[in-house]
Structure 1
Amino acid sequence: MLLTLDTIYKDKRWISFREQLIDERKNKENGLVYCEHCGKPIINKYDLIAHHKVELTEDNVNDFDITFNKDLIILVHFKCHNEIHHRYGYEGKKKVFIVWGAPCSGKTTWVNNVASPTDLIIDLDNIRQMISNAPRYTENKRLNSVVFSLRDYLYDIVKTRNGKWTNAYIITTEPFKMARERLERKLGASSIFIDTSQEECLQRLYSQSDKGSQWVKHIDEWFESYEQ
């Protein structure tokens, strides 16, 4: 089966190759993978990118001497990968990432850490805060129709790749696989799962004074229903 830039990273051959590459480059003493750009350990699996030194194109993606050449691939942080592309002027096409996970899993923190000033971030919490005088994370169902209309308008901008933004990050707690896959198809996006345990989510909640006790219920319900 021929590869394309849209299918390569979901192809079983690439997934198996990537896992083998990660295993080979783990530090023998502590089992960590170190970023080959900044030299720091890559703690979370979702933060690890296999970067091709030779930029992949539709013309060369099926050249396995490039695509599956270990000597032409470095393992780097997601943020470092963005820095590499900006530094060497790899424009390419706009990329869209659906960043999903439980409430209080650290989705927004991660996106704010990796996104550049020219990236587009779509987050319901940001939209609610923007159009209301209520404190952040306040649930106001009377504004939901406006909030979702604004979100859908931004989705249309992402879908058509309208504007001069670089990458787009969609932050969501959507627990259901089919719903995430529909959004992936609609927006031409790939998903990044912020894999945080229920215990850690609760610890993060207790450290955030701006979220009420009802968020314990949100976290519990999410872990009861989510599909990876």
Structure 2
Amino acid sequence: MPSRPPSRCGACRKLRTAGGRCGCSRPSQRQAAATRAEWSWVYADPQWALLRDQVLSEEPLCRAQCGRPPRVVDHIRPHRGDPLLAFDRANLQAMCKPCHDAKTARETGFAGAGPKRVGAVEVTLVCGPPCSGKTSYVRERAERGDLVVDWDALAQALGSPHPHDHPRPLVPFIAEARDAVVARLERRHDVARVWIIATAPRASDRAHLAPEGARTVLLATAEDECVRRARRDDRPPGTIDAIETWWRTYRADQTAPPR
């Protein structure tokens, strides 16, 4: 009689061992993840796709009032597989991914998992136009164990074949990966210093990207110097346009009346 092939865990999707173990870290976490997997049918239902589009079109800003554009539709009361709650428009709200991830962590009880560095985390947002020296600035100052959130590094980790020229279909995934890492800072961790690298020409961009209390370093390297570096380093087509756009946006933001 042929042996039965190993099954996959519904939570972590890893193959179970002969003893029934999988890749989930703790029994309580395995149980919670498996339970959530049982509710995944909600998001495969055609009714959910229609509701999601409706909520995102009706609510242009995150309901957590962080000012970010929403990308996720959240259940105000967790539906736990109940279709009355799952498909009730009044129980839905649009949220950005960092706020949604933080809310989910609180609801599932994993917001407090692991060591915590409350008040001891030093977060620095380093921003400026392309070729302004952001990555070099961080590389010269980052130490072993520092967390570095770099758009280009994330892009390559997600499959981009070039260090600076990323396929457009990957952009939403790169953005969500970055947002997820930043949102993870709101939960317990053991990181002492964090560096976030971004262009962020507007003050509002910088406010949205940096967690509360973060230090911002603006490398406003002169436009002609950035262009010179782009040509010297043989950066991909479009880099010079991106530099000019950054400076045009930055100058307009500097002169715009306060809201």
- Aligned with 2:219 (options 194, 203, 228): 194
Deviations 1:98-141 (A, max 9, x none): 10111110000110000001111001111001111512112211
CA distance in 1, matches of 2:124, 2:186: 12
Q: SS state of the match for residue 159, structure 1?
A: coil
Q: Does 1:100 align with 2:124?
A: no
What's the counterpart of residue 209 of structure 2?
A: 183
Work out whether 1:136 is the aligned partner of 2:160: no
Q: What residue identity is the alignment partner of 1:182?
A: H
Deviation at 1:187, TM superposition (A): 4.2
Q: Deviations over 1:76-107 (max 9, x none)?
A: xxxxxxxxxxxxxxxx7011011011111000
**1:31-110 to 2 correspondences below 5 Å:** 93-110=120-137
Distance of 1:116 and 1:202 partners within structure 2 = 30
Indicate the structure (1 or 2) with the bigger Cα radius of gyration: 2
> Could you tell me which residue of structure 1 aligns to residue 194 of structure 2?
168
Task: Supply the AA of the counterpart residue of 2:248.
Answer: E
Runs of 4+ in structure 1 displaced over 6 angstroms?
A: none
The amino acid that maps onto 2:151 is L
Query: Aligned-pair distance for 1:158?
Result: 2.2
Q: State TM-score, norm by structure 2.
A: 0.49
SS in 2 for 1:200: helix
- Give how far 1:159 is off: 3.2
Structure 2 matches for 1:7-26, cutoff 5 A?
Answer: none
Tell me the alpha carbon deviations over residues 163-206 of structure 1, each in whole angstroms, 9 at most, x when there is no partner. 2222001101011112212333x443120111310111111111
Q: Which amino acid aligns with 2:229?
A: R
Distance across 2 between alignment mates of 1:116 and 1:225: 33
CA RMSD of aligned residues (A): 1.9
What is aligned with 2:243?
Answer: 219
TM-score (norm 1): 0.55
Query: How high is the sequence identity, in percent, across the aligned residues?
Result: 27
* Partner residue of 2:181 out of 154, 159, 171: 154
Q: 5+ unaligned residues in a row in structure 2: which ranges?
A: 1-118, 255-259
Corresponding residue SS for 2:185: helix
Cα-to-partner distance string for 1:45-82 (whole Å, 9 max, x where unaligned): xxxxxxxxxxxxxxxxxxxxxxxxxxxxxxxxxxxxxx
Q: Which amino acid aligns with 2:127?
A: W
CA distance in 1: counterparts of 2:232 and 2:185, whole angstroms: 34
Q: Residues of 2 paired with 1:222 and 1:188: CA distance? A: 25
Greater relative contact order (CA < 8 Å, ≥ 6 in sequence): 1
- Structure 1's unaligned 5+ residue stretches are 1-91
Moved more, 126-135 or 110-119: 126-135
More strand as a share of residues: 1
Conserved 8 A contact 1:96-1:189: yes
2:160 and 2:170 in contact (8 A); partners too: no
Kindly provide the amino acid, as one letter, of the partner of residue 136 in structure 1: P
